[in-house]
Amino acid sequence: MWLKLTGSVLIVAAGSLFGFELAKRYIERPKQIRQLMNGIRSLQSYIHYAAMPLSEAFSQAARGVAAPVSDLLTATGAIMQKDTYLTPQEAITLAVKEMRCRLALNKAEVDDLILFAANLGFMNREEQQKYCGMILSQLEKYEQEALKVKEQNVTMYRYLGVCGGLTLVILIL
């Protein structure tokens, strides 16, 4: 009797935990997109107004945002300082591969970030300023989409986790 009750509670708890972990990605995605936008705005100002080298600008831009986006920007700056022959696109691609499991960004956001980095350093300041504005507007669209998806899916995954655990308990008993 006690063994069945303990097992049932553990199964429901595991199902709930699984549902909450699935919902966590949908909660984190809009936050990380917003942090990425803030990081790009900082990067934009460091490039345009301070005229810093890109590796330093990435490291400085990371100071204003929270992890894991700050870790991504810091890693990009560190990779560019360590391997000076790498382009910004190659550096950010390596940093994204390093951080992929910690980022809640979709493939579209990552692809746009890599495309953004591909054009850094190959344009003059005014063109880079315009390009930063363009990437920021694209990220705003992604953020709005992520908020809609979050509203739809967070509650669903939480309920599915709890209900899935309860269903499993009912089937076992």
Quick one: tokens of 95?
Answer: 């940093």
Least Cα distance to 56 among 107, 121, 109, 123 occurs for 121
Structure confidence at residue 54 (pLDDT): 83
Number of structural domains in the chain: 1
Pairwise CA distance, residues 103 & 167, whole Å: 32
Residue ranges making up the domain that contains 150: 2-172
Q: What string of pLDDT tens digits covers the 173 residues of the chain?
A: 888 889 889 999 999 999 999 999 999 999 999 999 999 998 888 887 877 888 888 888 888 898 899 999 999 999 988 888 888 889 899 999 998 889 989 999 999 998 888 888 777 777 888 888 899 999 999 999 999 999 999 999 999 999 999 999 999 88
CB of 30 closer than 8 Å to CB of 147: yes
Which phi and psi (to 5°) does residue 53 adopt?
A: -65, 150
Distance between alpha carbon 1 and the CA centroid of its chain, in Å?
46
By the 8 A CB rule, do 116 and 129 touch? no
User: What is residue 125's predicted lDDT score, i.e. its pLDDT?
Assistant: 75
Helix (H), strand (E) counts: the chain: 6, 0
Q: Residue 93 half-sphere exposure, CB side, CA atoms within 13 Å?
A: 9
Alpha-carbon torsion 120, 105, 91, 57, what sign? positive
DSSP state of 62: G
Tell me the whole-structure pTM to 2 decimals: 0.85
